[in-house]
Amino acid sequence: MRVLAGAMLWLFAGAAVTADYTYCTLCHGANAGGNEGIAAPALKGIEPWYLTDALAAYRNATRGKEYGQDTAGSEMHTVTRQIEPAEEAAILKFFDSLPATRLTTTVEGNAANGKKLYAETCAACHGPRGHGNADLHAPDLTRLNDWYIVSSFARYQSGARGTDPANVWAYQMHLIANTLPADYAIRDVARYLATESRNK
Ligand code: HEC
Ligand code: HEC
C-alpha cells in the first residue's frame, strides 16, 4: 500500500513537470533564442504546424539532404533520428516554459526599403507583417534571427535548400528565391522583419 501511494504521488508530481528538452537549446541557444555560431535559429514561438513540417522534412530527408552544400540542414537531419513525432507537444511545452528571448540585431540594412520589398514579394505568403500563413505553410519569419533569414534565403537561392519537389513547401520557396536577382536586398528585408518580431 505504501508502495502504491508512493507511486501515485510520483505520477501526480510527474504530470506537472515539463519534459526536459534542454539538449535542443545546446544548439538553438539559451531560451531557444538561436546560436549563430552553429547556424541554429531561434525556435521560441515556433508554430506547432511548422515544427511538424520542419521535423518531418528533416526526417524524410527532403530537407537538409543537400550534403556538402547544406551543413546546417544535415546536422538537424541527424538530430531528428532521436525525436519521435509524438514528442512534439512536449517539445512545444518545453519551449513555452523558457523565459522570453530577445533577439539581437546583427544584420545591417535599410528597414524602410525592406518593408517595401517585403510587401511586394513576400507578404502574399508570409502575411502582411511577416507572422506567417498556416494555410500556405509559410512560417512566421519574425520568430527568426535576422542572420538566419539572410542565410536561409541564400540557400534557397543557391539550391542548397528546397530543391526536392517532394518537399512542396520548400520547393515553392526555392522557386520564389530564384525569380529574384542574386543581389536582392535580403538584408533590408531581414532588418524590417526584426521590427515586427515578437521576440524583442
Ligand atoms: C547538434 C545541434 C542541434 C541540436 C541538438 C538540435 N538542433 Fe535543431 N537545428 C540545428 C541547426 C544547425 C538547424 C538549422 C538547419 C537549417 O537551416 O535547415 C536546426 C534547425 C531546426 C529547425 C528548423 C527551424 C526553422 O525555422 O526552419 C527546427 C524546427 C529544429 N531545429 C528543432 C529542434 C528541436 C526540437 C531540437 C531538440 C529536440 C533540436 N532542433 C536540436 C541544430 C540542432
Ligand atoms: C509562394 C509563397 C511564398 C512567397 C511569395 C515567399 N515565401 Fe518564403 N516560404 C514559403 C514557404 C511555403 C516556406 C516554408 C518552406 C519550408 O517548409 O521549408 C517558406 C520559408 C521561408 C524561409 C525559411 C523559414 C525557416 O524558418 O526556415 C524564409 C527565410 C523565407 N521563406 C523568406 C521569404 C522572403 C524573404 C520572401 C520574399 C522575398 C518569401 N519568403 C516569399 C512561401 C513563400
CB of residue 107 inside a 6 A radius of ligand 1: no
What is the DSSP code (8-state) at residue 124?
H
Whether 34 lines ligand 1, by a CB cut-off of 6 Å, is no
pLDDT for the residue 70: 75
Residue nearest to ligand 2 atom 18, measured at CA: 170
Q: How many CB atoms lie within 10 A of CB 3?
A: 7
Amino acid sitting at position 115: K
Residue 129, classified by CB atoms within 10 Å of its CB into exposed (0-12), middle (13-18) or buried (19+), is middle
pLDDT for residue 16:
53
**Contact yes or no for 69/162 (Cβ under 8 A):** no
pTM of the full predicted structure?
Answer: 0.92
Ligand 2 binding pocket includes 156 (Cβ within 6 Å): no
pLDDT of residue 151: 96
**Which of 173, 176, 180 to mutate to test ligand 2, by most ligand atoms within 8 A of the CB atom?**
173
Instruction: Report the chain (200 residues): mean pLDDT per 10 consecutive residues.
Output: 48 62 95 95 97 95 77 87 93 95 94 98 98 98 97 94 94 96 97 91
Confidence (pLDDT) at 72: 84
Q: Quick check: CB of 51 below 6 Å from ligand 1?
A: yes
Do 143 and 131 contact (CB within 8 A), yes or no? no
CA of 72 to the centre of ligand 1 (A): 8
Q: Is 87 in the pocket of ligand 1 (CB under 6 A)?
A: no
Residues linked to residue 40 through DSSP beta bridges, in sequence order? 35
Domain-by-domain residue ranges, the chain? 2-195
Cell triple for 70: 547544406
Q: CATH code for 2-195?
A: 1.10.760.10
